[in-house]
Amino acid sequence: MTHRSLLPLGGVLAAMAMSLTGTRVSAIALPWFVLVTTGSPVQTGVVAFFEMTPYVLVKALTGPLVDRVGPRRISWIGDVVSAAAAGVVVVLHAVDSLAFGTLLVLVAVIGAARGPGDLAKEVMVPEAAERGLVPLERATGLAGVTERLAATLGPAAGGAVVALSGPLVGLGVSAACFALGSVVVAWALPRGVGGRALPHGEEEPVGYWLRFGQGYRFLRGEPLLLALIVMVGITNLLDAAFSAVLVPVWGRESGHGPAMIGVNAGVMGLAAVGGSLVAAAVAHRMRRRVVFFVAFLLAGAPRFLILAVDAPVWAMVAVFAVSGFSGGFLNPILAAVAFERVPRHLLGRVNALGDSVAFAGIPLGGLLAGAAVASAGLAPVLVACGVAYFLTTNLTGLRPEWREMDRLRGHGQPAAPAREAGADTAGRGG
């Protein structure tokens, strides 16, 4: 195996690391900036809504474009636009010209650019793995490690920078990460990476909406993917409420501040790196369904419940560490299931639809959490969200389609001929 053959996979993972780190830094800096400048959890939720709504909508609609134009180009454009918009926020605030409405517009631009940029990086993983002769499940495990490293370094750096230098410096760091991601894509990824040849005898439909409909018809015929997408959509809503509003409000009301927020998130991310490394090493031998639901049981509800009580710092850190380690197994499993069931030439449009449905609740997460905290207080909302997380990730596992999770071991091939695109017979978690 040559170094050249591994360069595309390394480039995809490095670009993912830069973009995700920028997102994680921004996820601490931006809510804290809004909270300390306005004092309003409702406005903090509004900002989260304006970022994630364009993310979901644009990502849903750009799948056919990613398949046609190529994920490398879309990834580069998304990173450049994200960097520019985040930089403008910093500059306008520095000259005291950043109105709240302008901030909402710029945040919406960042969200709209991140959606297709994230999608493009996701769909380049299978081909990059093939070029490096890396098994698909190991490649998705490495992508999970990359994501979890970003989840470790981003919040830790974000919390430290915000605590020491203020949230606007944090946004500047985020802009720099997006810019570095665009440089990695331009340098490390050869032109045409992510392009997918059609199966023999099949022709690409002419027209955007025909290609869009082709992805929709395929996804409609995949009950397992649909069940995964719906469940992850609900947990994503709860996670968005947690990170965008509940954690910042907890940090302010408890007196722990952004530094402790960064510690909790950093510990969780570091433990998740360990979980993802284990998943990358043994994913091909795991019973996916058992691991998936046990991991969700430990990764979800305990985080909400520990913040609802006056727990000592060591207990909080322990819960976040267990949650992170368990969560490290989730995305490698989700990605491998999706990649092995979706034909390669449909990855862009199917993943776009699936991810967008899974992310549809994220814009509402911060908005609903802000309103709920304002009316009921922080602790009751944390308990309610924890209970909802527990029920979602356990009761839904009783549905029959989950049995299919362990059956396939492929490398991006259709599950069966009847599921080929066009026959009338989604996505990842955050």
What percent of the chain lies above the pLDDT cut of 70?
Answer: 89
For the chain, give every domain's residue range: 3-187+206-419
The band of 417, judged by pLDDT with boundaries at 50, 70 and 90, is very low
Is residue 415 predicted with pLDDT exceeding 70? no
Q: What is the average pLDDT across 62-71?
A: 81
pLDDT at 59: 81
Question: What does the angle CA 17 – CA 21 – CA 26 come to, to the nearest 5 degrees?
Answer: 155
pLDDT at 425: 28
Place of tokens 């890396």: 134
Could you read off the pLDDT of 285-307 as tens digits, one per residue?
777 778 888 888 899 899 999 99
Is residue 427 predicted with pLDDT exceeding 50? no
Backbone angles phi, psi at 39, to 5 degrees: 70, 15
The band of 194, judged by pLDDT with boundaries at 50, 70 and 90, is low
Is residue 46 predicted with pLDDT exceeding 80? yes
pLDDT at 426: 32
Q: Tell how far CA 3 is from the center of its chain.
A: 29
31: closest CA among 15, 17, 52?
Answer: 52
CA 362, 363, 368, 370 torsion: positive or negative?
positive
pLDDT at 192: 63
The tokens for 350 are 């199917």
pLDDT at 365: 85
Tell me which amino acid residue 382 is: L
Tell me which amino acid residue 131 is: R
Of residues 370 and 156, which shows the higher confidence score? 370
Q: Cα(323)–Cα(315) distance, rounded to whole angstroms?
A: 12
The tokens for 170 are 């944090």
Query: What average pLDDT does the chain have?
Result: 79
The tokens for 215 are 């992805």
The band of 202, judged by pLDDT with boundaries at 50, 70 and 90, is low
Q: Cα(379)–Cα(386) distance, rounded to whole angstroms?
A: 11
Please state at what angle helix 41-61 crosses helix 362-376, rounded to 10 degrees: 160
Could you read off the pLDDT of 323-340 as tens digits, one per residue?
989 888 887 788 778 777
Q: Cα(31)–Cα(50) distance, rounded to whole angstroms?
A: 12
239: closest CA among 50, 54, 55, 393?
Answer: 393
Query: Using CB atoms within 10 A of its CB, is residue 77 exposed (0-12), middle (13-18) or buried (19+)?
Result: middle
The band of 283, judged by pLDDT with boundaries at 50, 70 and 90, is low
CATH fit for domain 3-187+206-419, picks 3.40.50.300, 3.50.50.60, 3.30.70.270, 1.20.1250.20: 1.20.1250.20
Q: What is the average pLDDT across 210-236?
A: 84
The band of 384, judged by pLDDT with boundaries at 50, 70 and 90, is very high
Q: What is the average pLDDT across 22-34?
A: 81
